[in-house]
Amino acid sequence: MAEIIVPELAESITEGTIAQWLKQPGDTVEKGEFIVELETDKVNVEVISEEAGVVSELLAAEGDTVQVGQVIAVVGAGSGSTASAPAPAAQSEAKEEVKATEAPKAPVAEETTNEQDRTIASPAARKLAREKGINLSEISPVDPMGRVRVQDVSAHGSAPTTTKAAPASAASATKEDDGRTTREKMSRRRQTIASRLLEVRQNTAMLTTFNEIDMTNVMALRSRKKDKFFEDHDVRLGFMSFFTKAVVAALKKYPYVNSQIDGTDIVKNNFYDIGIAVSTEGGLVVPIVRDADRKNFSEIEANIGELAKKARDNKLALSDMSGGSFTITNGGVFGSLMSTPILNGTQVGILGMHTIQKRPVAIGNEIEIRPMMYVALSYDHRVIDGKDSVGFLKTVKELLENPEDLLLES
């Protein structure tokens, strides 16, 4: 017999949430095979079984908070079925149903649970479906690959249903608001994001300064070079590498923007680890492009692409997101025209990119239509004065409006 224990996750993380059981009681598991997915404050972690055998017992349900070192499952000797048995919650429901009706209803519950287990769904979608009493197999997902997401569960839940009774919490909420609102518990990561953003707002003297960039030249350069760039490097040339290079050059010119406060000291970073904010289903994450000053355009683009894919697949490691010195966030991908980004952790600066919009601008004594982008620098005024903040943003603007200079300055 072997126990599945919540492993050491990171120095600052002591607990996690069961996001999804990948094996159920009765399932065969091989040594080194993933058995459960844990959601922590920062990343999702898949836990392996150290022994081969059959899952005999699950000691925690999806959605439960578990501590590092806690036993959450037991793997026994022997061989079992690869088909999933009911999860603990489903088993309990089946037992109660048998007691209430004095009839053997368990096989029906097992069949329903097996159908749900075979449905491809995100952990968040499974959790919401369980809370709303919705059978995942009855949901028609929008995703062409058939993956059920939170939006699909919410849309299905808003339609009239006559099958399962909702859990007590959902039933009481429905009685209270007559179905006009939907209550959804924050995921662990969303709770962490919320508390940290609030902490930044309360504990920093955050200000934001704005400028606008004429994207004509960088767009023209990218248009001329993108095909050859892809042919040579097998990676697409986007705008993020230009902005990353411009930011690195500006940080070298204004080193206090690349610093942090430690007590009564200002610690200036002599490295350039640039965080790139990525939106995922579970919330915003900020993986780090390490030593961006030492990387060329293709290396930066490849690095960003790899990190973004890992973020979307919940495969980011804690090491992918720790220790950044400055952050870039791009609200423009969602159509944002202007915003005031919030500082990331202990960093004292963050650059916000926005959507490119054609606008009339004065060029000399003429009015021309140019592709313009508003950019915003949020900064901690305790460290950075107006001169440095404005100068930093002006440097980024000038380099992007004259992108050939990036080869010399970055």
Q: What is the pLDDT of residue 265?
A: 94
What the block records as the tokens of 378 is: 């949020």
Q: Where are the beta strands (DSSP E) in 68-217?
A: 71-76, 206-214
Distance CA 400, CA 243 (A): 7
Does residue 104 register a pLDDT over 60? no
pLDDT, one tens digit per residue, over 27-69 is 999 988 889 988 876 677 889 888 899 998 899 988 888 988 8
Span 164-173, average pLDDT: 51
Q: What is the pTM of this model?
A: 0.64
Distance CA 309, CA 300 (A): 14
What the block records as the tokens of 251 is: 């940080």
Q: What's the whole-number average pLDDT of the chain? A: 83
Q: What is the pLDDT of residue 244?
A: 97
pLDDT, one tens digit per residue, over 235-256 is 999 999 999 999 999 999 999 9
Q: What is the pLDDT of residue 88?
A: 46
Span 124-141, average pLDDT: 80
Quick check: 239 and 229 in contact, CB under 8 A?
A: no
Active-site hit among 143, 232, 313, 385: 385
Least confident of 133-142, 313-322, 395-404: 133-142
> According to CATH, where is 2.40.50.100 located in the chain?
2-177
CATH no. of 190-409? 3.30.559.10
pLDDT confidence tier of residue 406, bands split at 50, 70 and 90: confident
Span 346-367, average pLDDT: 95
385 in active site = yes
Q: Could you tell me the CA-to-CA distances from 362 to 250, 340, 370, 399, 403 in Å, in that order?
A: 26, 26, 9, 20, 21
Residues 6+ apart with CB under 8 A from 29: 23, 35, 49, 52, 53, 54, 55, 75
Burial class (CB in 10 A: 0-12, 13-18, 19+), 106: middle
> 28 - beta bridge partners?
54
Q: What is the pLDDT of residue 290?
A: 97
pLDDT, one tens digit per residue, over 265-275 is 999 999 999 99
354 in active site = no
Q: What is the pLDDT of residue 8?
A: 82
Burial class (CB in 10 A: 0-12, 13-18, 19+), 262: exposed
First to last CA, the chain: 58
Quick check: 72 and 18 in contact, CB under 8 A?
A: yes
Distance CA 346, CA 397 (A): 25
Residues 6+ apart with CB under 8 A from 43: 285, 314, 316, 317, 318, 320, 321
Percent of the chain with pLDDT over 90: 46
Topology of 2-177 in CATH? OB fold (Dihydrolipoamide Acetyltransferase, E2P) (2.40.50)
Q: What is the pLDDT of residue 307?
A: 95
Span 79-98, average pLDDT: 45
Looking from the CA of 59 toward its CB, the CA atoms found within 13 Å total 12
Please indicate whether residue 184 or residue 113 has the higher confidence score (pLDDT). Answer: 184
Does residue 112 register a pLDDT over 60? no
pLDDT confidence tier of residue 71, bands split at 50, 70 and 90: very high
pLDDT confidence tier of residue 409, bands split at 50, 70 and 90: low
Does residue 360 register a pLDDT over 90? yes
Q: What is the pLDDT of residue 379?
A: 97
pLDDT, one tens digit per residue, over 199-221 is 888 889 999 999 999 999 999 99
Which residue has tokens 């902490």? Answer: 199
Span 332-353, average pLDDT: 93
CA 239-337-303 angle, 5° bins: 25
Secondary structure in 3-state letters for 23-81: CCCCEEECCCCEEEEEECCCCEEEEECCCCEEEEEECCCCCCEEECCCEEEEEECCCCE
pLDDT, one tens digit per residue, over 282-306 is 778 899 999 999 999 999 999 999 9
Q: What are phi and psi of 211, to 5 degrees?
A: -155, 175
Beta pairing class for 356-363 and 349-353: unpaired
Quick check: 379 and 349 in contact, CB under 8 A?
A: yes
Active-site hit among 177, 381, 388, 405: 381
Span 387-408, average pLDDT: 92
> According to CATH, where is 3.30.559.10 located in the chain?
190-409
